[in-house]
């Protein structure tokens, strides 16, 4: 329902509002479609960039592994290291490893014997326990007979890339193992960002294997290029992504995270570790720079749309005025038609749709005038119920089966009466009689099917269904007798002999509908039940029955309130064309 505040009392304002609304809706929809398309393209471009950046990170890791392995190979060929190893001077050996850390850019270099015992390392704070990931790599390389081995792990709680390379003396006899560690920290992430312009973050969602017992599984940042304010959002997003993964496979899962400075398209991928739970590598690209060129186009589109809306407002006002005036004239003419003035005509002198509407309204006025006269005549020639059905369903031939109570009433001694009265007096008397009887029938919901001379055929339960049609029919018959008593009193005062009536009532399933030809038809009912009702009416002439109303057992059985009727059994009678006799009853006032 339209709120009262939004209703217009003038049609021109409504047309104006409609046209402006359509133009605004079209422009707004266009703007939204373009805006969403731009954002969709920006997201797609960002995801493509993230995928490329992921390959760059993988390539950088591989290059670092190759560099560290090559550096270890150079170290393995250093005779000074071999000589120190033979002397067993681990302190001197550690100082040699420290000198190599600066040259190859690996802050941690360790040396293990073939039994996995730490011989020397470049970091005096690292012991056998802290250097455990190297031993894991060495054991795995020995088991798989690998010439070198690498992987991600934690050293002193920090993320590192580890590489182990054997020291041969000579080949293929392994004399010792070199281990090199490269930190995956903010410096490494910043170098990736300088190349790809992508934000890189490593997040651990579970504690490392060598963490103290009872360490909670609290997600933490291992390395990131983002400011500290963005850390909680990135950690939360990574935690959700890890929870959504099935078998540690994210399938290139992307999401959008809103950070303090912008919205970021985010790509998650698991990074496998040596003996610890996998960590998440998070790549992010801001949407702002991707959308900046599209925003300029959207702003231009917005300015153009506002200009178009202003032009549409002026055009809509002109159109509204050209439409509202003839519409007001048509409304005034419609009010005259509603008041019953079908003679007035309207002339708009237009050749468009409104002019055609004016001509149609003139034709409608003429049609209403003719239709009114036809309906008036129809109501006088058939019952209002039948007239309503014909107007609603049309005058098609055919019918339907339904249960109906049929009433036949016949005027007794009409032939003798017609011999005693002049034709016009007879017609006047007959109309008085039929008017009283029809009134009693219609007062109880009956429908006059037809007048057959001085006889009346009435229906209860057709064309409108009635649940208590038998009750109504019997009540109407009793009312007809009472009405006839009152009419005879009037006739007696006028010196006219009294009239007598016979009524037959039967309830049965019949076919009700339009009967006749395509040129002329009549609504009626046909069936064995109709013949029985007519036969019962004829039986009222039997003197021994001493009644003017006879009904069938079928009608009494269908009564809803049988207590209002005191029927008198009359036995059974044969009916012409029917094998079984009919049980009948007298009904008296």
- Tell me the per-residue pLDDT of 3-30, one tens digit each, with 9 for 90 and over: 555 555 666 677 677 777 777 788 788 8
The domains of the chain, with CATH numbers, are 197-288 (no CATH), 340-380 (no CATH), 394-586 (3.30.70.1230)
| Residues of the chain above pLDDT 70, percent | 84
pTM over 0.85: no
pLDDT band with cut points at 50, 70 and 90 for residue 507: very high
CB 288 within 8 A of CB 260: no
Output the pLDDT for position 215: 57
pLDDT, tens digit (0-9, with 9 covering 90-100), for 181-240: 899 999 999 999 998 899 999 998 876 555 565 555 678 889 999 998 888 888 888 888
- Are 337 and 364 in contact, with CB atoms under 8 Å apart? yes
Express as a percent the part of the chain with pLDDT over 90: 27
Chain-wide mean pLDDT for the chain?
A: 81
- Distance CA(376)–CA(370), nearest Å, equals 10
Question: Which of the residue ranges 313-322, 378-387, 528-537 has the most confident prediction, judged by mean pLDDT?
Answer: 528-537
Using pLDDT thresholds of 50, 70 and 90, give the confidence band for residue 572: very high
For residues 328-347, average pLDDT: 75
| Contact between residue 181 and residue 162 where contact means Cβ atoms under 8 Å apart | yes
3-class SS string, 390-414: HHHHCCCCEEEEEEEEEEEEEEECH
**pLDDT computed for residue 276 by the predictor:** 84
Q: Where are the alpha helices (DSSP H) in 382-468?
A: 384-393, 414-420, 423-443
**Highest averaged pLDDT of the listed ranges 121-125, 328-332, 536-540:** 536-540
Average pLDDT over residues 411-434: 85
pLDDT of 91 over the 90 cut: no
Question: Please, which pLDDT band fits residue 377 given cuts at 50, 70 and 90?
Answer: very low
Q: What is the mean pLDDT of residues 273-283?
A: 88
Arithmetic mean of pLDDT, 454-462: 92
Average pLDDT over residues 147-162: 89
The DSSP-derived string for 217-270 is: ---EEEEESS-GGGHHHHHHHHHHHHHH-BTTB--S-EEEEE-SS-EEEEEEEE
Q: Give the model's pLDDT for residue 403.
A: 92
Question: Phi and psi of 396, rounded to 5°?
Answer: -85, 145
- Give the strand order in the sheet containing 220-224: 220-224, 199-204, 279-286, 263-271, 254-258
Tens of pLDDT, residue by residue over 40-53, are 888 888 888 888 98
Angle between helices 423-443 and 469-493 (to 10 degrees): 140
Closest by Cα among 160, 163, 156 to 136: 163
Chain-centroid distance of CA 290 in Å reads 35
Predicted pLDDT of residue 320: 66
Q: Tell me the average pLDDT across 535-554.
A: 92
Question: What's the angle, vertex CA 67, arms to CA 66 and CA 69, rounded to 5?
Answer: 65
Mean pLDDT, residues 427-451: 92
User: Contact at 8 Å (CB) between 110 and 134?
Assistant: yes
Q: Are 540 and 550 in contact (CB under 8 A)?
A: yes
- Of 351, 347, 345, 335, give the one whose Cα is nearest residue 365: 345
Asked whether the beta carbons of 114 and 135 are under 8 A apart, the reply is: no
* pLDDT at residue 251, as a whole number: 66
């Amino acid at each position: 329902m339209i709120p009262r505040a939004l209703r217009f009392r003038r049609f021109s304002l409504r047309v104006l509002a409609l046209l402006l609304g359509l133009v605004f809706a079209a422009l707004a929809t266009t703007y939204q479609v373009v805006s969403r398309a731009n954002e969709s393209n920006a997201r797609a471009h960002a995801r493509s960039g993230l995928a490329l950046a992921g390959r760059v990170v993988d390539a950088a890791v591989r290059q670092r592994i190759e560099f560290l392995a090559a550096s270890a190979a150079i170290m393995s060929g250093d005779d000074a290291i071999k000589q120190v190893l033979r002397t067993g001077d681990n302190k001197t050996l550690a100082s040699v490893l420290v000198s190599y850390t600066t040259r190859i850019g690996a802050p941690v270099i360790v040396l293990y014997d073939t039994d996995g015992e730490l011989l020397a390392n470049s970091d005096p704070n690292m012991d056998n326990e802290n250097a455990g990931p190297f031993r894991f790599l060495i054991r795995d390389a020995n088991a798989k007979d690998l010439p070198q081995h690498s992987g991600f792990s934690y050293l002193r709680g920090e993320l590192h890339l580890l590489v182990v390379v054997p020291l041969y003396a000579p080949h293929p006899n392994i004399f010792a193992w070199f281990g090199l560690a490269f930190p995956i920290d903010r410096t490494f992430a910043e170098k990736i960002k300088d190349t790809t312009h992508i934000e890189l973050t490593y997040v651990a969602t579970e504690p490392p294997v060598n963490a103290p017992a009872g360490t909670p599984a609290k997600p933490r940042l291992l390395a990131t290029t983002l400011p500290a304010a963005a850390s909680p959002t990135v950690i939360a997003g990574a935690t959700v992504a890890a929870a959504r993964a099935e078998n540690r496979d994210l399938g290139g899962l992307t999401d959008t995270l809103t950070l303090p400075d912008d919205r970021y398209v985010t790509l998650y991928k698991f990074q496998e570790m040596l003996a610890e739970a996998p960590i998440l590598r998070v790549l992010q690209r801001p949407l702002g720079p991707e959308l900046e060129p599209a925003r300029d186009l959207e702003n231009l589109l917005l300015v153009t749309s506002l200009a178009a809306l202003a032009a549409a407002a002026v055009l809509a006002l002109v159109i509204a005025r050209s439409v509202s005036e003839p519409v007001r004239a048509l409304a005034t003419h419609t009010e005259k038609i509603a008041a019953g003035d079908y003679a007035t005509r309207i002339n708009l002198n237009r050749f468009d749709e409104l002019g055609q509407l004016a001509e149609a309204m003139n034709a409608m006025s003429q049609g209403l005038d003719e239709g009114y006269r036809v309906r008036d005549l129809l109501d006088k020639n058939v019952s209002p119920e039948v007239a309503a059905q014909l107007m609603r369903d049309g005058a098609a031939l055919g019918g339907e089966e339904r249960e109906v109570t049929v009433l036949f009433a016949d005027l007794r001694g009409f032939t003798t009466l017609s011999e005693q009265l002049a034709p016009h007096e007879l017609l006047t008397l007959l109309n008085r009689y039929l008017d009283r009887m029809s009134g009693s029938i219609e007062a109880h919901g009956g429908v006059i099917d037809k007048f057959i001379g001085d006889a009346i055929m009435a229906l209860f339960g057709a064309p409108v269904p009635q649940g208590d049609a038998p009750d109504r029919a019997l009540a109407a018959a009793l009312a007809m007798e009472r009405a006839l008593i009152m009419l005879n009193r009037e006739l007696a005062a006028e010196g006219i002999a009294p009239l007598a009536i016979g009524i037959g009532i039967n309830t049965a399933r019949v076919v009700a509908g339009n009967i006749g030809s395509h040129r002329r038809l009549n609504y009626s009912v046909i069936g064995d039940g109709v013949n029985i009702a007519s036969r019962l009416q004829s039986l009222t002439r039997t003197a021994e029955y001493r009644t003017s109303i006879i009904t069938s057992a079928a009608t009494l059985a269908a009564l809803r309130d049988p207590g209002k009727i005191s029927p008198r059994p009359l036995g059974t009678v044969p009916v012409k064309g029917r094998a079984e006799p009919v049980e009948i009853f007298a009904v008296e006032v």
